[in-house]
Amino acid sequence: MAKNERVTIDFTTIDRTNGEFVMYLVEEGPWSETSLAERLRAIQARVYNAVDVAIDGYLARVHPESRGSKVRIQVDLHAKPPEVVEALVRKLADHIAGSEEYRRDIEASKNIAGLRILVKHL
C-alpha cells in the first residue's frame, strides 16, 4: 500500500458499541452535475488514502488509542447527493473487502485488527 499521510479526516471517534475506531469523511453539497466526475475522483482518493493511513500505521501514530483496533471509515453524505456517489463508496468498500492484497495487508498490520467502509446519508 502507498505511504500516503496526506488525507483529510474530518473527525474521529471511538464507537464502543461496535468496538471500532471511526474515521469520518464528510462530503457536503451542493452536488453539481458539471463537477460530479471530479468529486467522484476526489472521494475515491480520500477513501483509498484513509485505508492506507490506517493499514500503514499513520493513524496509530496520530491516534495511539486506535492501535490494534478495528477501524471504520465512514463517508457521511450531505445535501442529497446523486445516487452514483453512494454507489461509488459501496463499490470501493466491496473492492477493498474482497481484495486479497488488502486482506493480506490488514492481517499483517499491527496497526489495525480489521477494516470496514460505511456510507451514510445525513
**pLDDT tens-digit profile of 101-110?**
999 999 999 9
- The answer to whether residue 66 sits within a structural domain is yes
* C-alpha span between 30 and 111 (Å, rounded): 36
- The answer to whether residue 6 sits within a structural domain is no
What pLDDT was estimated at residue 6?
Answer: 66
Judge if pTM exceeds 0.85: yes
Residue with cell 480489521: 114
Q: Which domain holds residue 54?
A: 13-121
Whether 94 has a pLDDT exceeding 60, the answer reads: yes
**Which of 5-14, 19-28, 44-53, 60-69 comes out lowest in average pLDDT?**
5-14
The CATH number of residue 26's host domain is 3.40.1350
- The answer to whether residue 75 sits within a structural domain is yes
- The answer to whether residue 2 sits within a structural domain is no
**pLDDT tens-digit profile of 48-84?**
999 999 999 999 999 999 999 999 999 999 999 999 9
The count of structural domains within the chain is 1
Q: Are 12 and 22 in contact (CB under 8 A)?
A: yes
4 is written with which cell numbers?
Answer: 500516503
Instruction: Enumerate residues 6+ apart whose C-beta is below 8 A from 92.
Output: 44, 47, 48, 117
* C-alpha span between 7 and 30 (Å, rounded): 22
Whether 92 has a pLDDT exceeding 60, the answer reads: yes
What is the SS3 assignment for 22? strand
